[in-house]
């Protein structure tokens, strides 16, 4: 599994180069796209097509090559195979046939965007592309809306305006949206701001809608109840009530779990 650059040729890793120059076969999502790149990198491997419409047949062909003793590298158009790209079924078939699947680390748009996002929380959920039909997209967004993790989406330029509008419709407008455009390329730009302002920001300059995008939305804020529980607990403790009594009263007032409040009060006492 060989990741290739997502825009900057210099991002090919040393190990990826060595593998691509050694193997007799490279399976590629689009041989017309990868051919010139591989030639530029000095690779003389023969190409075979492995895309989402022929994955089963490609898997059989690759297993045939491996059985004959050849190694096969898998590449996609850009970035890491199997990340919003074909390859997963192929990996499963190759492993089921008893061969080793060796993953190389390397460029991946989602990881690159996360590394520069400055998220509040270390947790994130990679979603990739949203459904293109607006009803399904809204339904998917509703399912994701309450998750406390940052959400990472991929989007193409011709849908960016619609997708950002859909995000702003379903999610709280105060949540932060990071728009990471053209990563590693000449016009790389990373914009961060409230989701509610993002559509206006995009339409203020058509250039902002060009290129490839990773969108990251900050996780949903904690439900108001939990915060009310914490606030009431804090007041009762500050007034000198013992931990168990404060947790019991805060639970009675706010409905937040007594155990949660009790554990929180103990944590506060220890710090
Ligand atoms: N497998 C790839 C990876 O590892 O990132 C992703 C392939 S997916 C078919 C293509 C999408 O990835 C684009 O529509 C865009 O959302 C995102 N993407 C790829 N390159 C990018 C870049 N240079 N800047 C921002 N997003 C990019």
Pocket probe for ligand 1: among 127, 214, 215, the residue whose CB has the most ligand atoms within 8 Å is: 214
Q: Is the pLDDT confidence value at 177 over 60? A: yes
Q: Is the pLDDT confidence value at 25 over 90? A: yes
How many whole angstroms from 109 Cα to the centroid of ligand 1?
5
What pLDDT is attached to residue 256? 83
How far is it, in rounded angstroms, from Cα 87 to Cα 85?
A: 7
How many whole angstroms from 112 Cα to the centroid of ligand 1?
10
What pLDDT is attached to residue 248? 94
Closest atom of ligand 1 to CA, residue 184: 23
Pocket probe for ligand 1: among 109, 132, 156, the residue whose CB has the most ligand atoms within 8 Å is: 109
What pLDDT is attached to residue 221? 82
Are 247 and 237 within 8 A, CB to CB?
no
Q: Is the pLDDT confidence value at 115 over 90? A: yes
How far is it, in rounded angstroms, from Cα 215 to Cα 102?
A: 29
Q: Which residues pair with 229 in a beta bridge?
A: none
Structure-token match 């902002």, residue found? 208
How many whole angstroms from 79 Cα to the centroid of ligand 1?
7
- Pairing of the two strands 46-49 and 25-28: parallel
Q: How confident is the model at residue 224 (pLDDT cuts 50, 70, 90)?
A: low
Average pLDDT, the chain: 95
Segment 10-26 mean pLDDT? 98
What pLDDT is attached to residue 225? 53
* Ligand 1 pocket residues where CB is under 6 Å: 6-7, 76, 78-80, 83-85, 108-110, 154-156, 180, 182-185, 212-214
pLDDT tens digits along 120-141 = 888 999 999 999 999 999 999 9
Structure-token match 């607006």, residue found? 134
Q: How confident is the model at residue 185 (pLDDT cuts 50, 70, 90)?
A: very high
What pLDDT is attached to residue 226? 60
């Amino acid at each position: 599994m060989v990741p290739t650059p997502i825009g900057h040729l210099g991002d090919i890793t040393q190990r990826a180069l060595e593998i691509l120059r050694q193997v007799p076969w490279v399976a590629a999502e689009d041989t017309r796209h990868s051919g010139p790149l591989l030639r530029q990198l000095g690779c003389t491997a023969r190409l075979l097509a492995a895309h989402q419409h022929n994955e089963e047949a490609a898997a059989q062909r690759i297993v045939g090559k491996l059985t004959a003793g050849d190694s096969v590298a898998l590449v996609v158009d850009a970035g890491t195979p199997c990340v919003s790209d074909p390859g997963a079924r192929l990996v499963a078939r190759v492993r089921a046939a008893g061969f080793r699947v060796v993953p190389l680390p390397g460029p991946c748009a989602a990881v690159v965007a996360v590394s520069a996002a400055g998220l509040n929380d270390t947790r994130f959920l990679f979603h990739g592309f949203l459904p293109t039909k607006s009803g399904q997209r809204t339904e998917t967004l509703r399912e994701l809306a309450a998750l406390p993790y940052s959400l990472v989406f991929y989007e193409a330029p011709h849908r960016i305006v619609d997708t950002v509008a859909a995000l702003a419709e379903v999610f709280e407008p105060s949540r932060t949206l990071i728009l990471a455009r053209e990563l590693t390329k000449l016009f790389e730009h990373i914009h961060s701001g409230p989701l509610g302002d993002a559509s206006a920001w995009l339409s203020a300059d058509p250039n902002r809608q060009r290129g490839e995008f990773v969108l990251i939305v900050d996780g949903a804020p904690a439900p108001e109840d939990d915060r009310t529980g914490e606030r009431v607990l804090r007041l009762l403790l500050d007034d000198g009530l013992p931990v168990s009594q404060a947790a019991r009263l805060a639970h009675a007032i706010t409905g937040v779990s007594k155990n949660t409040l009790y554990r929180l009060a103990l944590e506060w006492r220890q710090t």
